[in-house]
Amino acid sequence: MSETIPKKMAAIAIEKPGGPDVLALNQIDVPTPQAGEVLIKVAAAGVNRPDIFQRMGFYPPPPGAPDTPGLEISGSVVALGPGVTSLAEGDNICALVAGGGYAEYCSAPASTCLPIPKNLTIIEAASLPETFFTVWSNVFDRARLKSGESFLVHGGTSGIGITAIQLAKAFGARVIATAGSTAKCEKCLELGADRAIHYRRQDFREVVKNQEGGVDVILDMVGGDYIAKNIDCLRPDGRHVSIAFLGGSKVTLDFMPIMMKRLTLTGSTLRPRDNHVKAAIAKSLREQVWPLLEQKRVRPVVDSTFSLDQAGAAHAHMESSTHMGKIVLTIQP
């Protein structure tokens, strides 16, 4: 028997751009799944930096996406939109969404839903989609990281960093990570990094360039003055991928090293991309990464959980930068 779906649900609203205190629990309409979509009863939702940027007014949802924040969820399918044959009511899944995750129900494209890997909890599953889609599409699709190459990721204990360390290592790269404390550096090494650099005590450029001999691929979330330093760290034919700019997006660069070393500078944002692109990433993850999760060669790391009405506290915790791993909102049992 199909589950009775209410007309209204609890969801987090952004009352106005601002700090964590602008997040409020409201009652809104339960979405109706459109063609190619499913309706998910949300058990948990991952918290990500783009949610914070949206709350601050810097990252509006793309056209047609809900105003409710939240880009990744786990839960059970309770209704199918027209044309959906790949999923059934009652399936437990995790999904990448363009918004709407901080709510009791959320619609998602069936093509960006993935089964919950064996041996993972539904809370752990909610921490997967945003970071795994992002790392796969940028490190492996755009930057073409290969076995035997060297890889540098900044923010090694962030959700992105933890995923990047493990996937790069699993696919045969030498992995170097930066982090801001001794405990965080130790966590990077525990996750498989070959070297962890305490950036408050060491100049990462000095270590990477002179002690490591450079790297082939860099995944950067910092921007600002890190970009020139990163370029200095890259080997000939190296690839630099930008996915965020915590230190600013405007920089002055000398392009001569880029020409002389034949470097590639690229970047992307995931949220506004077409569902066909996201579906292709989901297919690659299911074929090449989900087995690693089920074999426990790669594992999610959940730092902490908060209830839906504590979304503001979850954002404050992320902004404190004391977390190691993903922050997850628990919504329904």
Its pTM stands at 0.95
Q: How far apart (Å, rounded) are the C-alpha atoms in residues 129 and 308?
A: 19
Instruction: Determine the pLDDT at residue 3.
Output: 78
Q: How far apart (Å, rounded) are the C-alpha atoms in residues 160 and 41?
A: 26
Q: Is 327 helix (H, G, I), strand (E, B) or coil?
A: strand
- Average pLDDT (276-283) is 97
In this predicted model, which residue has the larger pLDDT, 90 or 247? 90
Instruction: Determine the pLDDT at residue 122.
Output: 97
Instruction: Determine the pLDDT at residue 246.
Output: 87
Could you tell me the two tokens for 160?
């992105």
Q: Is 165 helix (H, G, I), strand (E, B) or coil?
A: helix
Domain 132-267, what fold? Rossmann fold (3.40.50)
DSSP state of 65: S
Give tens-digit pLDDT for 59-116.
999 999 999 999 999 999 999 999 999 999 999 999 999 999 999 999 999 999 999 9
Q: How far apart (Å, rounded) are the C-alpha atoms in residues 203 and 232?
A: 12
Does domain 8-128+271-330 fall into CATH 3.90.180.10?
Answer: yes
- Average pLDDT (51-55) is 97
Give tens-digit pLDDT for 191-222.
999 999 999 999 999 999 999 999 999 999 99
Helical (H) or strand (E) element with 195 = strand 195-198
Cβ contacts of residue 100 below 8 Å, gap of 6+?
Answer: 11, 31, 65, 66, 68, 70, 106, 107
Q: Does the pLDDT of residue 332 top 90, yes or no? A: no
Average pLDDT, the chain: 96
Give tens-digit pLDDT for 175-189.
999 999 999 999 999
Q: Does the pLDDT of residue 120 top 70, yes or no? A: yes
> Buried b vs exposed e over 208-246: b needs ≥16 C-beta within 10 Å?
bbeebebbbbbbbbbbeebbebbbebbbeebbbbbbbbb
Contacts of 251-257 with C-beta under 8 Å, sequence gap 24+, read 251/223, 251/224, 251/225, 251/227, 253/227, 253/228, 254/228, 257/231, 257/232
Work out the number of other CB atoms within 10 angstroms of the CB of residue 276: 9
| Domains in the chain: boundaries | 8-128+271-330, 132-267
Q: Does the pLDDT of residue 242 top 80, yes or no? A: yes
Could you tell me the two tokens for 221?
């979330």
